[in-house]
Amino acid sequence: MRRSRAETDASHVKLSRRAALLGGAQLLFMGGLAARMRYLQVDQADQFRLLAEENRINIRLIPPKRGEIFDRNGVQLAQNVPSYRIVIVREDAGDVEDVLSRLATLIDLTPEQTESALAELNRSAPFLPVTIAEDVSWDAVSAVSVNAPALPGVSPEVGSTRVYPRGSDFAHVVGRVGRVSQKDLDALEDPDAVLRIPRFQIGKINVEAREEALLRGFAGTKQVEVNATGRVMRELARREGQSGADLQLTLDAKLQNYVQARLSGESAAVVIIDCEKGDVLANASAPSYDPNLFIGGISSKNYDPLLNSEYRPLVNKTVQGAYPPGSTFKMMTAMAAIEEGIIGPDETVYCPGHLEVGGRRFHCWKRAGHGWVDLENSLKKSCDVYYYDLALKVGIEKISAMAQRFGLGIRHDLPLSSVNSGLTPTKDWKLRQRGESWVIGDTVNASIGQGFMLASPLQLAVMTARIATGRDVTPRIVKSVNGVEEPVLGNGSLNMNEQNLRRMRRAMNAVVNDRRGTAYRSRIIAEGMRMAGKTGTSQVRSAVVNNNEVPWEQRDHALFVSFAPYDAPRYACAVLVEHGGGGSTAAAPIARDVMLQALYEGEPPLDAYPTADRGRIETQQKQLRDVPPQARINKGKDQA
């Protein structure tokens, strides 16, 4: 049946509407597709180009050159030297075990090194080089190069490693580096990518570790083209990194060397500080060790003696050790009393050889007593009863507060590991830490640097420098960074009564230069070089027994603090001899010798010593000149 004209027109309208809708949809789709193509090809072109480049170009880090370390006069203490190693590429070697066997006939290659190399080869990609031997000699490099045709896949490489040319002299100051360990990485919240470079070295202790951020520098980068398996085809671009900063320390290598030599055979520590700037000129702990042994990993044969020695060569006794300061603390008790006006410097106290306190008898070291003594005589003769009496009048709080003003009980911020803060106890401290109330006997013990009172040799040197100058002398070890001088810290006035300080210095002068002084035998007689000081004996046992009658580890520690010249102080010094007995016999002679070396900036003339000592000193000086640093490593009394 034929459709009417009206029906035909209506059908055409429907078809036209559908065609328009379909065409519009097609146009919208094509427009969206075009817009997406434009976005990908134009707007995101750089991003996709980079992704394409990453498929064939790798960016690799170039290790920065580590900054070097020097003494105050430019003597090198830590340096970078070329290090040769032998590597092997598995896919080029063919029969790896046969190649390693042939290599072992040319260089010193232990079975352990061979096994380690094989294990690493099995873990690594076949085209990556694996180190077989490190720190090999030039002769070994030459032997491998000459025999290259017989050693497929084996080649020598040159890198850089750390070396400490002064050996054991600066082990406890400069420290050492070592390979980055997983422990090192775990300790960092966001470790620098350069730390993941194989065999990269970082500071482990002391200046090397504490100044790591300055010494490490910043890595460079290089672009290398690699194939689908990751093999490097060629280098495309390189951007060099930034070398680490060079550090100049305040220490004097010549003086440090002498001090270490002078301490040979002892378990001891010496700190010498410049009274003007607080520069630490010598920071010696004995016995010491050779840090070069640790660079590539120390063997058990070398490490066990260091770890197990009763003389503790791995411990820096100058800052890590905290010892009862003994009679070297008496100046603090006296300063607390006279600054408070509790006692005048000319007032006297009677010493019968003991003092009864709370039903307990506290003895003076001289059982017969010293009779009537004033400030100068009490220090000169080291009378204990005088200070017992002062302590009862002034109290522990003021004594400890005075000690802190002079640098005790404070952790001095030096770039050394495990710097000890010592201890200046108070009533609250004992209650908080021990759950016990303070008793009067604790104050009496503290007055002569015993009981809970603890100090490091560094703190005692700072205390002495502050007494000598009346200023807030603050120690520093880093003198400059890349030639830019570091600021001198502190050095303001202690705001102490200058008259009282003068009396204290005069009393310390009498200790050394008065015939009845406890350190008279260790005086300096050179004009303008007189030394003032104070002896100390730190008890390590409660029983009163002669030191010669007990084993070494139960003997008293010997201490001595000093400054010189007396009329115009330049240097302050603290000496500790572990289990050395009396400060006057063991520590004072060492202090006199090292102080003279500092004052004369080298070997002093014999006429600086008392006539009776010159023959012995001449022999001693010759012996010390003839002993090289490496011969002093890890020596103790039973080895010297």
pLDDT above 70 covers a percentage of the chain that reads 90
Residues belonging to the active site: 327
DSSP state of 219: -
At 118, is the pLDDT very low, low, confident or very high (cuts 50, 70, 90)?
A: confident
Report the C-alpha gap between 117 and 109 in whole angstroms.
11
At 47, is the pLDDT very low, low, confident or very high (cuts 50, 70, 90)?
A: low
Report the C-alpha gap between 271 and 633 in whole angstroms.
19
The model's pLDDT over 295-311, given as tens digits with 9 standing for 90+, comes to: 878 888 999 999 999 99
Q: Work out the average pLDDT over 433-457.
A: 96
The residue among 524, 515, 555, 520 whose CA lies nearest residue 534 is 520
At 131, is the pLDDT very low, low, confident or very high (cuts 50, 70, 90)?
A: confident
Residue type, 338: I
Residue 520 CB coordination number (10 Å): 17
Report the C-alpha gap between 162 and 204 in whole angstroms.
12
Residue type, 627: V
Q: Work out the average pLDDT over 201-228.
A: 87
Q: Work out the average pLDDT over 341-348.
A: 87
Q: Set out the domains of the chain in order of their start, with CATH numbers.
A: 53-75+166-249 (3.90.1310.10), 83-160 (3.30.1390), 253-632 (3.40.710.10)
The model's pLDDT over 220-266, given as tens digits with 9 standing for 90+, comes to: 887 777 665 555 667 778 888 899 999 999 999 999 999 999 999 99
Rounded to 5 degrees, φ, ψ at 485 are -65, 135
pLDDT value, residue 312: 95
pLDDT value, residue 48: 59
At 639, is the pLDDT very low, low, confident or very high (cuts 50, 70, 90)?
A: very low
* Cβ-count burial 346-361 (b if 16+ within 10 Å, e if not): eeebebebbbebeeee
Q: Work out the average pLDDT over 536-550.
A: 74
The model's pLDDT over 573-599, given as tens digits with 9 standing for 90+, comes to: 999 999 999 999 999 999 999 999 999
pLDDT value, residue 378: 96
pLDDT value, residue 129: 74
pLDDT value, residue 634: 41
- Residues 6 or more apart whose CB falls under 8 angstroms from that of 422 comprise 322, 408, 409, 410, 454, 455, 456, 459
Degrees, nearest 5: CA angle 430-327-172 = 80
Rounded to 5 degrees, φ, ψ at 78 are -145, 125
At 507, is the pLDDT very low, low, confident or very high (cuts 50, 70, 90)?
A: very high
At 528, is the pLDDT very low, low, confident or very high (cuts 50, 70, 90)?
A: very high
pLDDT value, residue 240: 82
Q: Do 540 and 556 touch, CB atoms closer than 8 A?
A: yes
Q: Which two tokens stand for residue 548?
A: 């010669």
Q: Do 519 and 535 touch, CB atoms closer than 8 A?
A: yes
Q: Do 209 and 191 touch, CB atoms closer than 8 A?
A: no
DSSP state of 637: T
pLDDT value, residue 9: 61
Report the C-alpha gap between 435 and 616 in whole angstroms.
53
Q: Is the confidence at residue 396, as pLDDT, over 80?
A: yes
Higher pLDDT, 456 or 115: 456
